[in-house]
Amino acid sequence: MAISPIETRYKTEMNSLFGDEARLRSWMRVELALARAHSKLGHIPADAPDDIEKAVAKVSVARVQQIEDEIHHDLMAMVKALSEQCEKHGGYVHYGATSYDIEDTALALTMRDAAGLIRSRLVGLADILAKLAIEKKNLVCVGRTHGQHAVPTTYGMKFALYYDSTIRNISRLDDATRQISVGKMSGAVGTMATFGDDALRLQELVMNELGLTPAPITSQVIGRDRHAQMIFTLALIAASIEQIAKEIRNLSRNEILEVAEGFTQKQVGSSTMPQKRNPHKSERLCSISRLVRMHTQVALENIPLEHERDLTNSANERFIIPESFILCDYMLKQAQAILSTLEFFPENIERNLNLTQGGILAERAMICLTHAGMGRQEAHELMRVSAKDAIAKNQPLKEILSQNLDVKKYLNQKKLDEIFDAHTYTGKAGEIVKKVVSDKK
C-alpha cells in the first residue's frame, strides 16, 4: 500500500526515474562504464566488461534487497548481486571504487534526466503563456496594487509577465543542469589513490561514456552545493507557478470573477454547497509549492558535511530530491492544464474596470493637468481631494472634475471624456507584450 501521495495522487512520468529499479540500473550502468574504462587502460581482462554487461540483465531488485537485509549496505548489496551473476570476472566489479563514486555519478545521471523532463514541461508552459499573452494583449482590466484598484493594465501583461519568469526559470534550470551533470571516480577521500597513475584518464573515460563532466575535485562525495542549486531552482519554478495559481484564485472570487478554472460537466465543487466552484486545482498548486520550497533548507544544510564527508545528507536526499522533481513536474503539468482551459468573463472584467467610477484614472487626469500647465504637486492634491469627494458623493470622478473651476482652466469636457476612457490608458502594454514574447522565442 502506498504511503506517500507522490506514489499515487501526484504521480507523473517523473516517478519512473526515481524508483528502485531505475536506481539499481543507474548504479550498474556506472559500474559497467568503470569496468570498460579499466579494460581500455589494461587494468582488467579485456573480456571482463562483456561478462559484467551480461550479468547486469540478470540482477533483480529483490535479490539486491535480500543481500542488503543481511549486510546493511545498499550499494555493496548491488555489487555482490552483480558479481554473483558474472561467469568469471565478478571480482572486477567495483574495482578501485568507493560507494559514492557509483552513487553520486548515478545520481547525476538521474538528476540530469529529471531536469530534462522539467525543462520540456517549462517549454510547454511558456508556449501556453505566450499564446495567452498575445491573445489577451488588448483585454483591458483594472490593475491592483496592495489589493486596491490601481490603474488599467491588460491580461496580456499578466501572462507576458509569467511567460518572462518562465523563460528565466528555463535559463536557471539549464545552469543547474550543467552544474549537476558531473560524476566522480576519485575514491574514498577524492585522491584517486586506488586507481593508480592513470586515474585521471580512467575518470575521464568513465564520464565520457556516461555523457558527464568529470568533477575537477571532490571529497568522498561531489559538493552538495551542486545539488542545492538544483533543488533551489525547482523551488523557484514552484514559486513561479504559485504566483500564477494565486492570481487565478483571487481573480475567481465571486465578487471579482474575472477568470475561473475550467469546470467539467460533472465536477463537484463542495460536498455540502452544490453551488460552489472552488479553484481547488490552483489551491493545490499553492499548497505543494510550500513543500517544494521547504526542501531548499535541507539541501543547504547538506552542504557543510564534516571533514571529507559524513552521512547526514544521505537519508534526507532520498526524500528531497525525488520529491522536489516529482512535485515540480506535477505542478507544471497541472499549471498547463489549468491555463489551457481557463475561462474568462469579459463582462465582469469590464464591470470591475469601472467599479471606482473613474477613480483608477486619477493619475491620468493629474498628468494631463500638469501637461496643461498646473504644477504637479498642485494637480496631485486637487485629484486627491476630488477622488475623496467622488467617493463620498458616490459620483463619477469625471463629474466632480467637470464642476471644478480650477480644472476648467486647463481641461475642457472633450479632454475629460478622453481622459476617462480606461481602454486608452494602457501605455505601451501591447508593445511590451509583443516584444517580450518575440524576444524570447
- Separation CA 163–CA 128 (nearest Å): 9
Q: Among this protein's residues, is 219 annotated catalytic?
A: no
Q: Which of 270, 287, 340, 438 is catalytic?
A: 270
What is the rounded distance in angstroms from the CA atom of residue 301 to the CA atom of residue 286? 25
Long-range contacts of 247-255 (CB under 8 A, 24+ apart): 247/158, 248/279, 248/282, 248/338, 248/342, 249/279, 249/282, 249/283, 249/286, 252/277, 252/279, 252/282
26 a catalytic residue: no
* Rounded Cα–Cα distance for residues 424 and 426 (Å): 6
What does the alpha-carbon distance between residue 37 and residue 311 come to, in Å, rounded to a whole number? 28
Is-contact 247 256, C-beta < 8 A? no
Q: Where are the beta strands (DSSP E) in 77-219?
A: 140-145, 148-154, 182-183, 213-214
Interatomic CA distance for residues 22 and 106, integer angstroms: 10
Place of cell 465571486: 254
Grid coordinates of 335: 499549471
Residues contacting 65, CB < 8 A, separation 6+: 20, 77
Question: How many other C-beta atoms can be found within 10 angstroms of the C-beta atom of residue 315?
Answer: 8
What is the CB neighbour count within 10 angstroms for residue 327?
23
Closest CA relative to residue 327, chosen from 10, 84, 4:
10
Residue whose grid cell is 557509483? 102
Maximum distance among all Cα pairs of the chain, rounded to whole angstroms: 103
In sequence order, the 6+-apart residues with CB closer than 8 A to the CB of 421 are: none
Residue 291: helix, strand or coil by DSSP?
helix
Which three three-digit cell numbers place residue 191? Answer: 585522491
> From the DSSP assignment, how many helices (H) and strands (E) are in the chain?
18, 6
Dig out the grid coordinates for 204 from the structure: 575521464
Sequence length of the chain is 441
297, three cell numbers: 533548507
Q: At what angle do helices 48-56 and 74-85 cross, to 10 degrees?
A: 110
DSSP E strands: which ranges in 239-358? 259-260, 343-344
Active site residues: 146, 270
